[in-house]
A = this chain, B = another copy of it.
């Protein structure tokens, strides 16, 4: 075959799909196809499993689900006229595959099956899918386009290399690549290298939006064979961007690159089969095409993490049909940040804050709670718990038989507050947000059924140091003290007894966070962490606390993953576990 080199316009439809909402996702996909065609694109790429949402988890074990997706795909295909659409969906044949459909001329022209099924971290794809075995490409107006799905392109070798060595000038990748801090940059660096190594234009379309503990950052992009980013979609929002590409540039580069020529020869001499050409399709050729498209500026780290949290929360609330959220605002830094994020995600009219002071609450924190709610324009309820504390003491007096007050009474206060926010939730249908941060969730500094009571843990994967940083960043952005300086300066305390201070029983938060990152996120052991310069006693105490709190975390609400290792499906430890004890 002689490869054509006419330029093309490709559209990236960076959708926010909802798991299980087949009809809604299909509608979005049809709309994207129509819009891409209107904007003069010959090819529109959608994310991995766009039709089912990602990850559908055990829905994939239901034939009724997989078959409903299959039906919707045939319906969506009808929209693909005068344009080719690549749509991710789970395909049931002899088994279920993580698949990309090539939709053309109103039909499913071909289907590619994902070869690499990730089964680490948050991924369980080998639980659900049969693996594809073959690299594949299709021809669009004579241009050879290689197909890959997510993990396929993270592998430096086949199937992407096979497609390129079989002639693919363009390699598309349909992705559902979950966010963690710094990943968008790392991912783009990988795509740049793949484009250069394969001397091909890489067209990467990522999912966007929140799904339970995951948030997808979008940041879809087109990278040419020189590693230049031709187009980049924004982060954390839906977008359809169109980019002109020049398939001739890859051909030209290969003519002058002997390494590529040698690689093709070695590949032909090997036992591995070439990429299969699944289909050849034609659509009306574009007029003149300008190479390139819109290039969104990447976010800085604080904005990126903040946006991830806002997006994840908003989607959890909206996709689960909640109109309103409620959270306990203590006047401390964690609940302050949670309130900022809630208001950013939903608007102040959808957020109610509750202050539930006890005799241990200082006047300062109560005033700060009021100030924060007022600055945000959110409703504040004040429901003191003094009366409840006395009655509980009475109920338990005989059973406790004169024992001294201890952590029991502190937990009871937290649980009374949990009961009150849950009562508001039940009465008004509000979702309760919890505000504990990752440092606290790590060491178990949180009360089950108390401050842990709620449907979504806004800061579950945010270390305490990061909480301070994000609040400062928001105040700077806003140019005023949305959160009063006193909140940032007061020593952290749960205020569950007089003069309680968190940092008297734990190392300072900077130290704690560093030990936790090493232990929780990097699986280092005590010796290794001590070698990083930490005090052995601190390290061993923190590790012990993390291990012992596993049972609490198992009952914690979900919260957005922003780190390389979040609690939840990402870190699966037994509760019954004597290692290190």
Contacts and interface: CB of A to CB of B under 8 A. Distances in A.
Interface string A231-255: 0000000000000000000000000
Contacts of A65: 579
Nearest to A411: B426
A124 to B, nearest CB: 7
Interface in A526-553: 527-528, 551
Contacts of A412: 419, 422-423, 426
A576 B120 contact: no
A575 to B, nearest CB: 5
Contacts of A581: 20
Interface in A412-441: 412, 415-416, 418-420, 422-424, 426-427
A396 interface: yes
B411 A574 contact: no
Contacts of A218: none
Contacts of A124: 119, 124, 127, 572
Most buried by B among A64, A381, A555: A555
Given A22-B579, A126-B119, A387 B394 contact: yes
B396 A423 contact: yes
Contacts of A392: 388, 419-420, 423
A575 B399 contact: no
B420 A395 contact: yes
A56 B574 contact: yes
Interface in A49-104: 55-59, 61-65, 68
Nearest to A55: B574
A270 interface: no
Interface stretch (A154-162, A401-409, A470-478, A485-493): A401-409
Most buried by B among A119, A556, A558, A576: A576
Interface stretch (A7-15, A164-172, A369-377, A447-455): A447-455
A427 B453 contact: no
Most buried by B among A63, A400, A408, A556: A408
A525 interface: yes
Interface string A209-221: 0111000000000
A419 B391 CA distance: 12
Interface in A8-40: 18-22, 24
A1 B345 CA distance: 74
Contacts of A416: 419
Interface string A279-291: 0000000000000
B411 A383 contact: no
A63 B579 CA distance: 12
Interface string A357-387: 0000000000000000000000001011101
Which size bracket describes the interface of A in this complex?
A: 35 or more
A554 interface: yes
A408 B427 CA distance: 6
A115 to B, nearest CB: 15
A571 interface: yes
Interface string A562-581: 00000001011111111111
B383 A396 contact: yes
A262 interface: no
A500 interface: no
Contacts of A555: 555-557
A396 to B, nearest CB: 6
A319 interface: yes
A525 B212 contact: no
A192 to B, nearest CB: 29
Given A400-B427, A556-B555, A57 B576 contact: no
B403 A57 contact: no
A133 interface: no
A437 to B, nearest CB: 19
Interface string A445-472: 0001100010100000000000000000
Most buried by B among A419, A455, A528: A419
Contacts of A453: 448-449
A323 interface: no
Given A119-B127, A577-B19, A579-B20, A448 B422 contact: yes
Given A408-B426, A411-B422, A579 B59 contact: yes
A228 interface: no
A189 interface: no
A360 to B, nearest CB: 17
Contacts of A391: 387-388, 391
A503 interface: no
A257 interface: no
A204 interface: no
A523 interface: yes
Given A394-B387, A555-B555, A574 B449 contact: no
Given A62-B523, A555-B557, 8 more contacts: A19-B574, A21-B579, A319-B576, A392-B419, A411-B423, A411-B426, A419-B419, A449-B449
27 contacts: A18-B578, A19-B574, A19-B576, A19-B578, A22-B579, A55-B574, A58-B571, A58-B573, A59-B573, A65-B579, A119-B124, A211-B574, A212-B575, A315-B576, A383-B396, A383-B399, A388-B392, A392-B423, A399-B424, A400-B427, A408-B426, A411-B423, A411-B426, A415-B449, A554-B557, A555-B555, A569-B572
